Amino acid sequence: MKENRVDIVVYDIIKAVREVMLKHDVTHSEYLAAQAFLATFLSAPAYEIPLALDIFFDATVHDAEMTHRKGSMTNTQGPYFKGDCPTVTTELKVLPEKNGDPLIIEGRVMDVDGRPIPGAELFVWHSDPDGNYSGFCDYMPKNDYYRGRVHIPEDGNFRLLSTVPYAYTIPHNGPTGILLKAMGRHPWRPAHLHFIVNADGFMQHVTQIYFREGEYNDTDCAESVRADLIYDFEFSDGKKVIRKDFYLDRI
């Protein structure tokens, strides 16, 4: 008989939860409180369920993925990707009045043997200096600032000017934030850059990178930071530079 993956995975989840309930002697009133808590997602904004799952489980999807990939490390996509952002070549649109610290994001898109992948498509997105993403805050209603799509040329190289992103609180007035608070945790994520790379014949590469000594690297509410994803700033003409090379796995 063909194996039923839904049964295999879901039943293991159910058994794991049962073990936790027995281990901690979960009471009937706690069980009812958990039901009532889950029901609060029904009247919350639609992003709350994906947010909660991203915060608690998505990094683990990437940890699992990396047990059989050889290329660079993947990481959580998060809720703020927009595929309809502007195509860019040298810089991302930034808000000058925010006086952001300039940041050059450069690197190369390659296969696992270090050969460039011309024709690849790279998306970059990150927060402004106040930790907000365009398309998700009042003063940047469209998907245009601090985001871009780059067509990777023959040599595989890209170089974009933007500003340094800052640490960010996830929306924390809904069930996800309420749960974090009840657990005694904060809703902060460390400063990070998001990337997606698509190329024919290669597995999609979704990742984030973090900065050395970034605040909240150790207590990220999404527990997504991994040592291989922490990058050091380099400097060029007094500007901060992050060099991010991508090694993509073939399909």
Which residues would be at the binding site for ligand MBD (CB under 6 A)? 54, 76, 78-80, 168, 170, 189, 222, 224
Q: How far apart are CA 248 and CA 206, in angstroms?
A: 10
- Nearest approach, Cβ of residue 80 and ligand MBD (Å): 5
* CB nearer to ligand MBD: pick between 18 and 181: 181
126, with CB counted inside 10 A (0-12, 13-18, 19+), is buried
Partnered with residue 196 across adjacent β-strands are 123, 206
DSSP per residue, 126-182? E--TTS--TTSBTTB-SS-BTEEEEE--TT-EEEEEEE----EEPP-SSHHHHHHHH
- Write the binding mask 28 to 67 for Fe ion: x where contact by CB under 5 A, - elsewhere: ----------------------------------------
* CB nearer to Fe ion: pick between 116 and 185: 185
- In the complex, which residue's CB is closest to ligand MBD? 78
Q: Is 52 helix (H, G, I), strand (E, B) or coil?
A: helix
* CB nearer to ligand MBD: pick between 117 and 222: 222
Q: Which two tokens stand for residue 234?
A: 């380099």
Judged by CB under 5 A, how many residues of this single chain contact Fe ion?
Answer: 1
Candidates 32-40, 75-83, 112-120, 232-240; binding stretch for Fe ion (CB under 5 A):
75-83
Footprint on this chain of Fe ion (rule: CB under 5 A): 78
